[in-house]
Chains A and B, each alone.
Chain A
């Protein structure tokens, strides 16, 4: 039963206040993209056993989406940050590095 902190309203709440939204930072492929790129965007997920960047919505709270860096193996949370970012912010990367020195961002 996760506890997450919403970076928008600052509330720390339990998982049931939130709604999980899958992998973060997907690049949307629209008309004009190849079938393969489109498939990757729609279906192929990192699904790592380890550090995962994912989307959550503070569904019962402020209603806002945000991003979380979390380990899928230990469920440890490295930080949460706003949804209006296309890449993992530096401070989150360093928070992960601090606890997982071997971790490298995915290509």
Chain B
């Protein structure tokens, strides 16, 4: 694989860019792999990458029904932060955020990780106390995050209205090294690097059945034929329930549509990510200039990648209340993704009732930020056959034991 660099661009510029290679190979599936990963979203691709890089396991296929990165990884609002509350969440999200810091260099692909800071507004006394609690937990876990005053917020974010009549801003939890990254580039960067190390990424190949015998999984059926494997990892976000059904077990997961929208692009006006949980408004400005806005989730099961319009109304109202200038922007496009919500709104990484089948799902509305960390932890699990410290708390059995990892304690949502 030829390295990307400014020099390479200059060289290519003089030969009409004819020398650029394919970013990833498009192989036909082999008959058998050591590991098959279903789902070429961020989590599946990162898992493949770290399997190859950290564990030397390269006889790996990532099987994708559509185009790689076309699931939630390609349709999310790209908020990256690690200031969670529960120790197990802090551990995996901070691991992930740390990996994001160097990911462009690691992958030799500019994923545009931009630590422009994430501001989580507190607009009720209750929320203020919750953020303070989180800030303490973060500091102890070595995560840089701090409480800031309304005055500081107003200075950092000139377009914000901190003294709104209904929900004045009482403070904020600020994670300076949170931010965003280019969503597509994360998928593409991992795909390119994994492909380069020998991982087969097989697109337009839908898994339609899971083969098993008494000892466990033996392979999968796909629209491109059967593939044998003894280790199958399901990483399909909103479709987890469907795949689990094929494999013969159930998950504590429901699939619902979560929406997002973008405004038309404007010159820079917002320099960080702002989350206003009380009113449900999430906004950042991309490098292209559009305001990237996270909307609400439907409360009914839905596989359509469309959501109900009223969630957008609620979101936009909240944003206008928080940033009055938004009223005179225009909505360019809105869309939905199918997110997998678990019983405690925390993810699942672990073994399943079917030997050889592993699961990584339940990232719901907040798993983009977790892609590197989750890939790292899932690769460990696949290599060892059992989860290590990062993944262990997220095992499936917590739902039987009542060991909830409930982040909604601190925030209504987990973008």
Contact = CB atoms under 8 A, between A and B. Distances in A.
Contact of A73 (B253, B254, B303): B303
Contact of A72 (B251, B301, B342): B301
A99 interface: no
Contacts of A42: 343, 399
B253 A1 contact: no
Interface stretch (A43-51, A80-88, A90-98): A43-51
A15 B252 contact: no
B215 interface: no
A19 B299 contact: yes
B310 A1 contact: yes
A40 B250 contact: yes
Given A36-B400, A72-B303, A22 B254 contact: yes
Interface in A52-86: 52, 54, 70, 72-75
Nearest to B306: A75
B241 A47 contact: yes
Contact of B301 (A19, A35, A54, A74): A54
B401 interface: yes
Contact of B251 (A19, A36, A44, A49): A44
Interface residues of A, number: 27
B300 A54 contact: yes
B301 A39 contact: no
B255 A44 contact: no
A22 B242 CA distance: 17
B310 A45 contact: no
Contacts of A16: 308, 310
B399 to A, nearest CB: 5
Interface string B226-254: 00000000000001011001000011111
5 contacts: A42-B343, A43-B252, A44-B399, A48-B301, A72-B303
Interface of A: 1-2, 15-16, 19-20, 22-23, 35-36, 39-40, 42-49, 52, 54, 70, 72-75
Interface of B: 239, 241-242, 245, 250-255, 298-304, 308-310, 342-343, 399-401
